[in-house]
Amino acid sequence: MNGTFSDSFRADLRDLMRWRRDVRRFRTDPIEAAVLNRCLDAFSLAPSVGLSQPWRVIKVTSDQARAAAIANFMAANSDALAGYCDEKARLYAGLKLSGMCEAPIHLAVFCDDATTKGTQLGARTMPETRAYSVVSAITQFWLLARAEGLGVGWVSILDPARLCQDLQVSPDWRLIGYLCVGLPETLDDTPELERAGWEIRDNTLWMESR
């Protein structure tokens, strides 16, 4: 391998992106540790501002911690439903927005804003790039997991302060993403929100600067 890639690899990579979904319907089967560990490498291989590698990944394994995260989601989701009216409220109430009860693996991914790694390079002007580095790592994890046959669902309907408190993490850590991981019930190349009639996808267009 010399850092060049074939047409057939490129076609498969596009297919991977096409079949990557936000999964909310999981089988409860356990996931082999070796498979999950291979996916974890996506973090170490991710770009990070100033090589600061600010990601911190917690496997949420205890019954107590999982139950606290699920209760957090349920409260936030109920509040969110109250913000919609009429048809949109009816539609929202029918959406399945997290697979937390079924997914065998829960990962809480944080950004350590107090890290000294990278000595602030690139993060003085745009400190938010530390959080962005964590998002890049999560995106790579998502793709690698999908290539391994796993589904990932990113739950953002959560009170992040409450989650940090429940997991007793350092006050310098900020929640970036709460991920459910497991075998998906089905594969699909269309987002569940599109199939449910919530929103459709547009193509992205370039705009030109003046």
Scan residues 114-153 and list those touching a copy of itself (CB under 8 A): 117-126, 128-129, 131-132, 135-140, 142-144, 146-149
Is 42 near a copy of itself (CB under 8 A)? yes
Contacts of 17 (CB under 8 A, 6+ apart): 143
The mark string for 47-86 relative to a copy of itself (x by CB under 8 A, - otherwise) is: x-xxxxx-xxxxxxxx--x----------x--xx--xx--
Report, in Å, the least distance between residue 147 CB and a copy of itself: 5
How many angstroms separate the CA atoms of 6 and 43, rounded? 24
Minimum separation from the CB atom of position 145 to a copy of itself (A): 11
Distance CA 57, CA 63 (A): 18
193 binds a copy of itself (CB under 8 A): yes
DSSP string, 90-123: HHHHH-----TTT-SEEEEEEEETT--TTTTTTT
> How many chain residues bind a copy of itself (CB under 8 A)?
105
Q: Which of residues 151-170 bind a copy of itself (CB under 8 A)?
A: 154, 156-160, 167-168
Q: Which of 38, 208, 12 is nearest to 140 (CA)?
A: 38
Tokens of 192: 């569940």
207 contacts a copy of itself (rule: CB under 8 A): yes
* Among the listed residues 67, 146, 133, the one whose alpha carbon sits nearest the alpha carbon of residue 106: 67
The only residue of 25, 102, 183, 198 in contact with a copy of itself, by rule CB under 8 A: 198
Q: Is 31 in the site for a copy of itself (CB under 8 A)?
A: no
